[in-house]
Structure 1
Amino acid sequence: MSLKQQASQGAEVNEKMAALMTNSNAVRAIASAVQGTLGPKGLDTMLVDKFGEVVITNDGVTILTMMEANHPAARLVINIAKAQQEEIGDGTTTATVMAGALVSAGVEQVAKGVPVARVIEGIRAGVRRALEAIKERAVHLEDLQHPRVRQVALVAGREHQDIADLVVEAASLIGREKLLEPNFKLSDTVVSEEGAENQVFMGVIINKETMNKQMPRVLEQVKVLVIDDALEPEEIEDEALGTESGFARYLELQNQFRTNIQKIIDLGVGLVLVDRGVDDIAEEMLTDAGIMVVQRVLNKELRRAAEHTGARVIKRTGLRKDLAELQKHLGSADKVLEDEKLEQVWILGGHGKPMATVLVGAATEEVVGERERIARDAASSVQAAIKGGVVPGGGALELAVSREVEKVRENIRGMAAYGVDCVVEALRSPMAQIVANAGFNPLEKIGDVLAAQAEQNKISLGIDCDTGEIVDMLEIGVLDPALVKIHALKAAGEIAEAILRIDTIIKMKEYNKPSDEGAEH
């Protein structure tokens, strides 16, 4: 091979390595932005926008979603963290820290000459074994009153005892069966208000006021109608109004609309929830009848109210049905009241499915926002714990699992073993960061814990972040949901594989889609 060919190959290798290093640095930058928040001694991050608005938070996904990130690899990490949040509701910081460690370790191996394909092969094998080991060690919780349920809420709730109590009470009110439903999220029951008192109640909150002050403030034994539409007459085109037949149709629709509103009154409905706007005629008739009307209700709140009261959602055209049919669409509740101070309508004691609401209060807007995020994390963790069981927290489980993954190395051929090493390093990163945030030497403490776990055959041994001593995480109540660990590791593996597979970065040319594209010629 000529010197020119060698130089060309060398340049190509350097270019591919440069792409890998660039992406790796972006991932590490994202990980460093959240790693300081990990563990009981983790600190807060202040996010400031161009207008000087400030958000102070310890919540990993909030930091990731609100921070400015332009690099494509950084956005990849953020998107996977969002997916973790959507799926489980917690563990995004752990996932990001492990992803940063996994990518860094993988790049180091590639820089030493290990082929990327072999590194990825090893990472897959290591992650697969780690996931099996986590599932094997999960302890399932059947009783919502079990003390470990509260400990999960307390750990995820950053030691806020009042929030942990609220979340556990809400879970108990809702029940295990509801918590196991795939589409139900306990975190959606959390709301926060500046100046509100902490409480849990069986009911839902609509974050809107009634349409006017002439409507009743409190109703008892209420029939509820939920309209997923505008409560307005059906529209007719302006051009049609100019014709005699069109105007006649307009008058017909107006009369039909009045008849429909009268049906609502005749049914004895006390509360009407509307997805969109309400016509003046309807407002006047319903107000005169002593009916409470709330318009432009968020779709999520509308659905929760319907589910809790047992109402069947209806469109405005459905109001043409006769009274007997419409009666079947009504829900009911023990009490409906408007809180003028909080500008909310509360629906209490619905006769449909059980639905609890966790109301978290605080003195200021900034603090109440953070308390809501904490409560949502605690709620998500409690639900995940009920679904998939619990494991020791504080990074203890990941450290124990790393010892299991090391055994995979003995049975794997060739250079893929170096990829397994990357997984071992990533699994040790959560405890390393937690210990570092607490002010201790992570290398020393991890060595001590690994030796103690092997000597005592206890996977739950970890570090007390107050004293630096080795303690049993189960005994001191530091527990995490197994599903949080499983999804965090999966997410880290996906990020690492995606980043390591990229060896070339090419900027796309600007492309403006022609305005007439797709038109017939």
Structure 2
Amino acid sequence: MSQQRMQGQPMIIMGDDAQRVKDKDAQEHNISAARAVADSVRSTLGPKGMDKMLVSSMGDVTVTNDGVTILQEMDIDNPTAEMIVEVAETQEDEAGDGTTTAVAIAGELLKNAEDLLERDIHPTAIIKGYNVAAERAREEVDDIAIDVDPDDEDLVRSVAETSMTGKGSELNKELLSGIIYEAIEQISVAADDGSTVVDMESLNIETQTGRSVSESELLVGAAIDKDPVHDDMPSEVEDADILLLNEAVEVEETEADTQVSVDDPEQLQKFLDQEEEQLREKVDQIVDTGADVVFCQKGIDDMAQHFLAKEGVLAVRRTKKSDMEFLKNVLGAAIVKDLDAASADDLGTGSVTRDSDDELFYVESDSDEALGVTILLRGSTDHVVDEVERGISDALDVAAQAVTDGRVLPGGGAIEVELADRLRSFADGVEGREQLAVEAFADSLELVPRVLAENAGLDSIDTLVDLRAAHEAGDQLAGLNVFTGEVEDTFDAGVVEPAHSKEQGLNSASEAANLVLKIDDIISAGDLSTDKGEDEGAGAGGMGGMGGMGGMGGAM
């Protein structure tokens, strides 16, 4: 309950259940919650990062070291912590990878800001310094970045392999990076300004269990996980005319519920004959278009299946909407919603093959203008294939980004140490207390090589000293090889990251940190802490660690 005194009498302005935390207490609470989120994913960073097992309330198990997946699966129930989760989600949406790095840097920015706050540096000075530092860092990223030729297969594959290293897809990263490069090559188009555009909408990933990851492959076309609706239908059609249908091949039902009493067998037969005639008419409409193959998004009646099989038409029912949209791209066909208006112009042409081992339909287009490729991703179990899919999805995004954006950076902490070195030089020219914030920003960036070293079992201090010495000597591509523990030119070693991903990470981390720092008052209609155990009603004191991070402890 909060009170204000007016003419000697207390004025009650908040309810009995409300809580309020102000000034330093609020800042400490927010920073503690945000840092707890960042610390939870630090151990997953880099090629030697560890995995997390996440168990949902339903008992579903996820094993991963993908930062955004870990944070989304956690039962986080703290408003400040959720702000940091948003950093990971934004990084995933905008850059495809680098979520753990962005979150870890955000946590370190807040840790260093806490030190400045204890030295009586005002939050607005820290925020201004962080803004200046982030803007300067993005400029320096562009200066350091190395241009990418979209036809440079080795470089594009290196970007993909760097992303996959340390994830479930690492053991087969050479095979998978080759598949990724071929896929991107198939769906890339040249823009009018000379840049390259990668149409990710024209790429699909289909997963299968029971086989090795090394058996994964690229199909120029679509893979549809469905069965033919009738055993007598053909399993393979070359030079097929393919109809994509979003109308049920079933007897049309009346709009209102009706009941019909039949007291004569001939009447019943008339009803059945009428239904059969309706189905026969629909099948004739399909055949009249010239279609050899039908992918139907809705149902196909048993009688209609029989008629289609007699006509030699291969039909598939209950095809997913996403698969229908993808087939539309692959075949250059239209999705027909009304058979009465269907014509040969709506059809796509291609070959349809049923793979009995995979239990998939392979659909390949005959048209040069059609666009669409499918990565058939295989793994021994559901857990394996899910983690490989997460890894290859991130690798696809960053490789496509490198081709589109046309800039890459050395990995292994090289870019962070170089940026820190340049920011410290830049800080000398910054006036006022903002200079301290710029230096704190530089220190925060060096968390990345320190954590890479820690996760590899190396001495983080020695590693950072060696890296700083290399960069001060002018080697801006010097990074950490976590496998040998040596400092080397990571660009030449093939450890490469897209520049846009790094820029987005710096932007997201600094803005999230500034958002947290700007809060000096927390007003809650109920208990701020959702840890209702022994700390019931503990107020600000009960919020010290994660506050209300619910089932986070059990998830780790």
- TM-score calculated relative to the size of structure 1: 0.85
**1:337 equivalenced with 2:353 (yes/no):** yes
1:377-416 matches, cutoff 5 A: 377-388=394-405, 389-416=407-434
**1:321 equivalenced with 2:341 (yes/no):** yes
Taking only aligned residues, the RMSD between alpha carbons, in angstroms, comes to 3.1
- Corresponding residue to 1:425 among 438, 443, 446: 443
Task: Give 3-state SS (helix, strand or coil) of 2:448's partner.
Answer: helix
1:287 match: 309
Whether the aligned pair in 2 keeps the contact of 1:225 and 1:329 (CA below 8 Å) is yes
**1:497 equivalenced with 2:514 (yes/no):** yes
1:461 match: 478
1:192 positional shift: 4.3
Q: Distance in 2 between matches of 1:77 and 1:120?
A: 17
**1:207 equivalenced with 2:225 (yes/no):** yes
1:272 positional shift: 2.0
- Corresponding residue to 2:132 among 105, 125, 144: 125
Q: Distance in 2 between matches of 1:135 and 1:149?
A: 18
1:451 match: 469
Task: Give 3-state SS (helix, strand or coil) of 2:525's partner.
Answer: coil
Task: Give 3-state SS (helix, strand or coil) of 2:84's partner.
Answer: helix
- Corresponding residue to 1:16 among 16, 23, 27: 23
Q: Distance in 1 between matches of 2:227 and 2:316?
A: 6
Q: What whole-Å deviation, never above 9, does each CA across 1:116-173 have from its counterpart, x for those lacking one?
A: 1121111111111111111222222223343111111211121422222222232233
Task: Give 3-state SS (helix, strand or coil) of 1:142's partner.
Answer: coil
Q: What whole-Å deviation, never above 9, does each CA across 1:429-483 have from its counterpart, x for those lacking one?
A: 211111111122222222221221121x221101221232210111211111112
- Corresponding residue to 2:490 among 466, 470, 473: 473
Q: Distance in 2 between matches of 1:180 and 1:229?
A: 38
2:95 match: 88
1:309 match: 331
Going by fraction, where is helix more abundant, 1 or 2? 1
1:176 positional shift: 4.9
1:182 positional shift: 6.8
- Corresponding residue to 1:237 among 255, 266, 270: 255
1:516 match: none
**1:49 equivalenced with 2:32 (yes/no):** no
Single out whichever of 459-468 and 182-191 deviates more from structure 2: 182-191
Q: Distance in 2 between matches of 1:229 and 1:320?
A: 11
Task: Give 3-state SS (helix, strand or coil) of 2:147's partner.
Answer: coil
Q: What whole-Å deviation, never above 9, does each CA across 1:404-433 have from its counterpart, x for those lacking one?
A: 222332333322223322321222121111
- Corresponding residue to 1:362 among 356, 379, 396: 379
Count of residues in correspondence between the two structures: 488
1:211-222 matches, cutoff 5 A: 211-222=229-240
1:311 positional shift: 0.7
Whether the aligned pair in 2 keeps the contact of 1:187 and 1:375 (CA below 8 Å) is no
Q: Distance in 2 between matches of 1:253 and 1:504?
A: 70
1:269 match: 291
Task: Give 3-state SS (helix, strand or coil) of 2:335's partner.
Answer: coil
Whether the aligned pair in 2 keeps the contact of 1:398 and 1:428 (CA below 8 Å) is yes
**1:434 equivalenced with 2:441 (yes/no):** no
Q: Distance in 2 between matches of 1:277 and 1:25?
A: 54
- TM-score calculated relative to the size of structure 2: 0.80
Whether the aligned pair in 2 keeps the contact of 1:17 and 1:111 (CA below 8 Å) is no
**1:508 equivalenced with 2:525 (yes/no):** yes
Whether the aligned pair in 1 keeps the contact of 2:416 and 2:446 (CA below 8 Å) is yes
Q: Distance in 1 between matches of 2:360 and 2:97?
A: 28
Q: Distance in 2 between matches of 1:190 and 1:483?
A: 28
Q: Distance in 1 between matches of 2:287 and 2:88?
A: 49
- Identity, % of aligned positions: 29
Single out whichever of 441-450 and 119-128 deviates more from structure 2: 441-450
Change (3 A) 1:20 1:185: farther
- Corresponding residue to 1:150 among 157, 164, 177: 157
User: Which residue identity lines up with residue 64 of structure 2 in the other structure?
Assistant: T
Change (3 A) 1:286 1:495: farther
Whether the aligned pair in 2 keeps the contact of 1:176 and 1:386 (CA below 8 Å) is no
Change (3 A) 1:509 1:21: closer
Change (3 A) 1:429 1:219: same
Change (3 A) 1:240 1:31: same
1:200 positional shift: 1.4
1:89-104 matches, cutoff 5 A: 89-104=96-111
Q: Distance in 2 between matches of 1:122 and 1:190?
A: 47
Q: Distance in 1 between matches of 2:180 and 2:311?
A: 39
1:263 positional shift: 2.1
User: Which residue identity lines up with residue 435 of structure 1 in the other structure?
Assistant: A
Whether the aligned pair in 2 keeps the contact of 1:186 and 1:380 (CA below 8 Å) is no
Structure 2 residue runs of 5 or longer lacking an equivalent are: 6-18, 261-272, 528-556
Task: Give 3-state SS (helix, strand or coil) of 1:209's partner.
Answer: coil
User: Which residue identity lines up with residue 210 of structure 1 in the other structure?
Assistant: P
